[in-house]
Every structure is written in C-alpha cells, then in structure tokens.
Chain A
Amino acid sequence: MGKKNKILNVENIQTYYGVSHVIQGLSMFVEEKEAVSILGRNGVGKTTTLRSIIGLTPPRSGSIFINGKETTRWQPHKISRLGVAYVPAERHIFPGLTVEENLRMAARPGNGKDAWTIEKICDHFPILAERTAQNGATLSGGEQQMLAIGRALISNPKIIIMDEPSQGLSPLLVQMITDVVLKFCVQSGITLLIVEQNYRMALKVADRHYLMDNRGEIVSIASTRELEDNPEIIQSHLAV
C-alpha cells in the first residue's frame, strides 16, 4: 500500500482543547473510496480527531495529509476546498435560513452529470423537497440530519467526515440515515470517515474500524468481518 492512495493520513497528532491534552499521538489513515469508522466511548477524543482533521481544532504537533497535501495548520475553509465535507454531530443547520438556503450555502459545482445539485437533492430526499422554503431550525432531528448530509453531498466532496449521525435519533430514523449514507456516500464512491457510538450502524456503513480509547489511543484496528466474528472486541472497548 503506497502512501499515494491514502486520501487522508494522520501522523502522530497531539491536540489540545485549551490546556487539556485530548489527543496524545494519534495516527490513522483512510484510503480513497474507503469507508472507515472510529468507534469509542464518550469522551475518548473522537470528535476532537475530526475537528483536528478539518482544521477547527488544529493539532499542536504531528501532521495531517489530505490528498497528498500537508494541511496540518490550514484554516477550515482551505481544507474544505480540497473536497472535505463535514457533518457535525449537532448538525449545525443554520437557523433563520431556509432548507434551500442551507443547501445553497454549501453548494459547489461538481464534475459530470452525476454531480449533486439542489434539484438532485430534492429528487433523492423527498423529505427536504417538501420543505425547501421552511426555516431549517424548525425541522425535526431526523430531517435536520438528512439536510446536514444533503449539505455535505451538494458540495460534491471527495471525502465526507461525519460525526455521530445516529445521535438522538429513533431506531427507525437511524435505519433511514444508514441507508442514505450507504447509498449516496459509500456506494457512490465518496470516501467516508465516520465517528459512531452506535457500533451497529458503523458496522453497516464502514469496512474498517479504528477502536479508540482514552486520549485518542487506537487500541485496535479491525475489519467489519473481524468485528462481527469477534463481538468480544467491541464488548471490551465499548461496554458501557
């Protein structure tokens, strides 16, 4: 495996939140068109890892490479322009903006006829199509998550970074979101890095999994197959 096809490569990063040393020497990578998850309990540094990658909480040391470019201390807008879309756990739908305006904010032209446009989003997300003129803040949790994913897709990204899409959603909605992520992100060739506490969802969408423990320590790297065959790995790391 050459370094070439690693669309995302994190090398020994140290990230702080103020004085608290949240990530202590994390290394990981994601290959092009791969779907990778980070699994771990609350507070082990999963979100901070994502924030380090997208430039919101840059690491103090170590390096991050995206598509071969070192982006370690780049500002988020520059990283985003490399084709990195972020779906935060809070969804961060802009209140006061309509569903359509939320999409327009993120829209970026893509290549070819398969590129995502507002029309294409409306075709594939009927829930959003009915609500284009509605204030984003008035959407339900599931609708907001759909919009957050739609907003990532419409930027026609190379890689989507997704933080706990299942958070706060009912099992039925988690199933819907899982299907959407599988169909539009994984199967359509967009690289995916997803953070989850809901390992069932993570096993459905990702092929390779980093099991994270306190302070960003990677205790195990496993394929979906290995985790399904050895449920005790998950039990020992994720047991609540």
Chain B
Amino acid sequence: MSGTFSIAIDLLLNSLVLSGVFLIVAMGLNIIYGLSRIMNMSHGALYAVGAYIGYSLVATGVNYFAALIITPILVGIIGLLIERTIILPMRKRSMVYTLILTYGLMFFLDGMIKHIWGNRPRFIELPEFMQGMISILGTQYPVYRLMTLFMIAAIMIALMLLLSKTKAGIIMRAASTIPEMVSCMGINMSYVHMGAFMLGCAMAGAAGIIAGPLTTIDPLMGGEMLISSFVVVVIGGLGSLRGAVIAAILIGFVQTFTEFFITDLAMVIVFIMMAVILAFMPRGLLGEGKFE
C-alpha cells in the first residue's frame, strides 16, 4: 500500500471522528436554542465537565461502557439544576440576559473544574482491547477512534428516534415552531424548556466522554469546543438540526485537512470559510430552522 493512500484513509476517518464530536455538541446547542432561544455559552464547559466526570468514573474503577452511560446522565442532572435555579428566572427576559448568564456560568464551571481536578492534563484509561490498532484497507487505525464513530451514530439514531417516535419528541418539534399553541394543548412549556436544556447538556457530556480519550483532558478543552460548535451552529443555521449535520461534516473535514497541510492556519481557514458562507447566506446554510 502506498503511503499517500494510507494518509488519505487516515485523514478521512479523522475528519469523520471530528465531525461526529462537533455534531453531538452542536446538536445539543441547537436543541436548547431551537426550543428556548437560549445561546448556551457554558456548553463547552459542560462538554469539558463530561470529559472530567468520565475520567473520574473510569479512574475509580467504573467500567468504561458504564461510564459512557452514567456521564451524560450526570451532566444532564447538572443541566437540570442550572436550568431550574438560574435560567428559569431569566426565561421571560431577552436573549441577551441568558447569553450573559451562561457566559458567567462558563467561568464558574471552568473554575470548578480547576478546583476539583486541577490544571494538570488527564487521560481516560481505555480498556485493553480499545487501545490497539485495526487494519482498514491496509491502513493501521486506532480501534477507539473507529469505535467513536459507532457511538456517535448510536447517539444520533437515538436522538432521531426520540424526536420522531416519542410523544416528548413530537412535543419538542412542535414547541420549536409554535410554542404558544403547545401550551394551549395543556402542555407546560416550562417543562419543555427544562427537558430541552437537560437533553442539550447530556449531549455535551456524552461528547465530552467520547472525545476525552482522543485528546488530553485539560481546562482549555471547553473553550475550544465552544468556538468550534458555535461555528457549526452558525454555518448550519441557528436551531436547524439538518443544517448542523451538514456544517459539522464540513468543518470536521476542513479543519482536519488544513491541520494536516497547513497546521498553523487551520482555524483561520475555518473562520474565513464561515465569513464567506455568512456573507452570501446570512442565516446559515439552512436558515434559522425547525426540528426536522
């Protein structure tokens, strides 16, 4: 096998992995925005919290797969507490209030992370069988990276089933379009907002523990992810779930490939691309969207 082919396979798979992580984080942001018109600035920090909780669970001997289930639940509960205590009272105010509020929350969560886990980078210890390499078309590729693709696919399928098949999902889709009419059908919109925030946070947590073993877990990871996921959400169209899929794949590929060829300019090129797309499509690729 030629080296170039190997590198191409490697880049392709890496792009998909990065796209997948962006997608899960951006979907969480979009669900919260689409239902509650809240731009959750603490979303990156919650992603980092997910990674750290995953680290602590695995480090204390919890099975990796169990941690994969427990972490999103714990981050979802953190989301529930945040929503009921500080976001609920701001509900009726303009978006700027919750924007500043969640921005402050980001610093609070970052501080808590440093307080609990310190500045030292952490690594999630993977089970033996996930640490090896697997041969894909003659290219040696890390088993865990490949597995993340399946985990991400499973999360996306679960999300789609939730939105299309369950009453809660139907309510969420309806509430993203005409919330007033939803409340006229006896549904307490306050709980819909709460559920959306919990779900969004749980998704950030899930992305955190999935991405944890791919990188070092450090206090900066949240900020970086916040920026990337915002780029995805803005390019895809605020609140548009389909737009997020397209944009996540786009950014995942562009970032991976530019990092390989012109490392220093990777983020610059991502932002130039965002600027160009927004110049021609100010509302993103699919516009301010609905849950479809």
Chain A residues proximal to chain B, CB less than 8 Å: 54, 56, 75-77, 80-81, 85-86, 88, 92, 94-97, 101-102, 104-106, 108, 151, 155
Contact = CB atoms under 8 A, between A and B. Distances in A.
B184 A56 contact: yes
Given A56-B184, A101-B174, 4 more contacts: A75-B183, A76-B184, A77-B185, A105-B185
Given A56-B184, A76-B184, A96 B173 contact: yes
Contact of A105 (B170, B188, B292): B170
A153 to B, nearest CB: 13
A105 B183 contact: no
Interface in B12-38: none
Nearest 8 Cβ contacts at the A-B interface: A80-B186, A76-B183, A92-B181, A94-B174, A86-B184, A81-B186, A106-B185, A77-B183
B247 to A, nearest CB: 19
B185 A97 contact: no
A95 B177 contact: yes
26 contacts: A54-B184, A56-B184, A75-B188, A76-B184, A77-B183, A77-B186, A77-B188, A80-B185, A80-B186, A86-B184, A88-B181, A92-B178, A94-B177, A94-B178, A95-B177, A96-B173, A96-B290, A96-B292, A97-B170, A97-B174, A104-B170, A105-B185, A105-B187, A106-B185, A151-B185, A155-B185
How large, as a class, is the contact surface on chain B? 20 to 34
Contacts of A81: 186
Nearest to A76: B183
A104 B173 CA distance: 13
A54 B216 CA distance: 54
B93 interface: no
B89 to A, nearest CB: 16
Given A94-B174, A97-B174, A104-B167, A155 B181 contact: no
B77 interface: no
Interface in B102-159: none
